[in-house]
Structure formats: structure tokens, C-alpha cells
Structure 1
């Protein structure tokens, strides 16, 4: 449990907690999914993480990196902690570790993290609710040119045509594929390519997206297996999730 209140920790880290407008987390089609969203201010020149005031569990594994990356790491850990508590994990155990730059969730829990320059998102659920794994992704609605090229390259022609017919459809499809990777990689191991799944989404946030595997990733995830995704919009961002 943090030694000082979470709102104080957030102020020290130049961030604040936000409601997820549009009830995106409530529309997601999985039980027990708990969401924490933070707005961050990018560190000013000379900013240093206030390590003296932060719980030891929060700073464990803090990278030796530029202030922006350290702030992002700490806010991700704090958001994960709050999401895990909301999902029923005891506060003393609700800390995500790290292995190979990926979060490691407490036993009996699953979750996912994503961030942009202005937002940090964490979701968590107890596996007792039937959610084995979850992945989330945040993307700016105004990606830079390099990101646009990467987004366009992750679809085949037919898939791209269907998504491009919807407002922000390609960006939503990209966020879904990123979420799929985060969801399935802990379960199947190895690399999952963008072309390993076909995405269908109407562009309507109230409607689920469908992701169909084009190759067998593991016995439990054969070619043709379908997963469900959810897409929403918040503060000039698209937010997507996939769970199984």
C-alpha cells in the first residue's frame, strides 16, 4: 500500500486520474475488467522522480532512463496497482513486476498497460472471472507520418479497404492488433505478426470488433479461432482491448 495517498503520489508525478468517458470499460464484453486512466504532463527540464516519497514496490526496477521514460514507468506501475486493487487483489500484493520489459501480474490476476505522451491506461481482472488474459492499446488520433506508414502496412488490401471505410477505422484496427498481441503473447509465447489475425470492425464504438486468427498460434488458438475486441475514443485517442 502506498505510504502516502494516491492523489498525492499522482501530483508528485505530474499526473491526475480521469474517468474513462463514454463508459468504455462498461461496454467491454468481459466481466470483471477494471480500468484506471491517468493524464500525465510531460516532465519539465530538470524533472527528477521524487523517489524519497514513493513506495519501494513502485520504484523496483525503475530504469536508468530519461525523465519521460521514468515518469511513464512509475505511472504505469501506479495505474496497475490501482486497477489490481479494484479487481479484488489485496493491496499488499497488487504490484506488477517486470520481466523482459513486460509487466508480470500477481498470481490469479491478469492485466495490461498502454501509454501515450498524455495518457496512461491500465486494466486488470481476476482470472476467476473467466478472463485468462487481456491486452489494451492507446493510440493518438493524430499519429506522426512514421506511425501512419506502420499502421497502413499491418493490413492486407481487403482488410484495409473494409476498415478505411470507417472514421479512424485503420487506427482502431491497428490498436486492436496491438491489443491482440498483448493478450495472446503471454499465453502462446513467441512472436505474433500483424498478418496473423484478420480484423473486422464497423467503426461504431458500441459494436464489438472481431479478430480471426489466420494461423495456428497454439493448440488452444487454432487458425479460424475468433476473439472479440472493444474500441472507444477518449481525448483525441482511440482505446482498444482484446481479452480471452
Structure 2
């Protein structure tokens, strides 16, 4: 991805975030894997280099955002179920695809109580997977051109990341219903989540409540 497209993605990401939140997208670099601390490597000691690079890239961005907020931190370890352990005063989310990493952060005393992000390559979802992730209503919306299967996947991933740290409830894809007109999501236990997404040049989705 060239610099112009990367700048475009970062400008688009800024427009997807709730007030008070910040985010950043960058390329995954060869040196990012070596930047992981010993605590950040716990549970991923045997991961392939590409996974370590992606994790390192996301944490590089997240640490920069924490410092920008006034909460500098040397490391962001993995907690239960792989959740990032953010420094006190910060909530956030990280994600990556094969080439790009993204991180978003907000203050815990700000406008949202949960924040999630996902990034996916803008390629079609395998047709056979759509019934596994989409309700009949969502499939109808996709057929009407309101979304694509892969973008729906991206939005739901962001929603999962926004709600899990508080609820600690594992959700199946069909246990979150996306409303494309209202740009909201509803979990099966009644949590309403707001989301925003872009489809090009990568699928990027944010979610918060």
C-alpha cells in the first residue's frame, strides 16, 4: 500500500471513531516482531514470525496512542482469551490483517465504555460462510446492496471486541444482529452497540457502547 492510500485510510478511521477516541493504521514492518517484550510474548512463544510481526505492529501503534493520551506504557500484555491488558485509564482494541495493523484507544472516563476495531482485506467472503455469520435479515440487507458478507464479518468482529472485556460472554456471529440503517448492533443479551465502517481500500470497522 502506498503512502497516499495509507493516509486516506487513517483519515477514514478518524471519521469512524466516537468523540474522544483516537486510532492509527500502519503497515506491518519486518522489525515489529522483535519489538515484543517478554510479557507480550507470553502465549505466543511458538507463533510464526508473521504473527509476531502483526502483534508487534498493533502494539507499536497502541503504545503510541497511549502516550499521546498521557498514559505511556512499555508493554501491553495479553490477558484472558487474548484480550489486551491496557494501562489504567485506557480502553481500546487492536487488529491486523496480512499487511496492515490498527489500534484504537479512548479514556475510561470518556464517552464510551467499550471500544472495538477490526480490519480485513477487501475481498469477497466465501459464499458458503454467509449463513454461518448472517441472519436472514442481514442476508436480505446484503442482497439489497447495503453491505457485503466480508464487511458484515468485519463489523461483527469489532462489536465482539467492544463488548467482551466487560460482559465476558462469548458470542456466536448469529448472536449479534446488525442494523445497517441505524448503524447499530444488538447482542443476544440486550447490549446495543454503535458501529461505523468503510469498505475501501480495506474493510475497517469500529464499534463502541
Is the pair's TM-score, using the shorter chain for normalization, greater than 0.5?
yes
Q: Report the TM-score, using the length of structure 1 for normalisation.
A: 0.72
Native 8 Å contact 1:121 1:138 kept in 2? yes
Residue 175 of structure 1 is matched in structure 2 by 154
1:136-158 superposed Cα distances (whole Å, 9 cap, x missing partner): 1111111564xx53344211222
Give secondary structure in 2 for the equivalent of 1:97.
coil
Matched, 1:75 2:57: yes
Q: Which has the higher helix share?
A: 2
Residue 9 of structure 1 is matched in structure 2 by none
Native 8 Å contact 2:194 2:208 kept in 1? yes
Residue 241 of structure 1 is matched in structure 2 by 206
Larger radius of gyration: 1
Residue 175 of structure 2 is matched in structure 1 by 196
Cα gap change, 1:66/1:79 in structure 2, threshold over 3 Å: closer, same or farther?
same
| Structure 2 unmatched runs, 5+ | none
Native 8 Å contact 1:113 1:121 kept in 2? yes
Deviation at 1:37, TM superposition (A): 0.5
Aligned length: 202
| Structure 1 unmatched runs, 5+ | 1-15, 203-207, 217-221
Give secondary structure in 2 for the equivalent of 1:228.
strand
Aligned Cα RMSD in Å? 2.7
Q: Provide the C-alpha distance between the structure 1 equivalents of 2:49 and 2:159, rounded to a whole number of angstroms.
A: 29
Q: Report the TM-score, using the length of structure 2 for normalisation.
A: 0.83
Residue 12 of structure 1 is matched in structure 2 by none
Native 8 Å contact 1:20 1:37 kept in 2? no
1:184-229 superposed Cα distances (whole Å, 9 cap, x missing partner): 1111113112122211215xxxxx612123x32xxxxx3xx43211
Cα gap change, 1:32/1:94 in structure 2, threshold over 3 Å: closer, same or farther?
farther
Native 8 Å contact 1:163 1:201 kept in 2? no
Residue 30 of structure 1 is matched in structure 2 by 18
Q: Provide the C-alpha distance between the structure 2 equivalents of 1:29 and 1:39, rounded to a whole number of angstroms.
A: 20
Residue of 215, 231, 238 corresponding to 2:197: 231
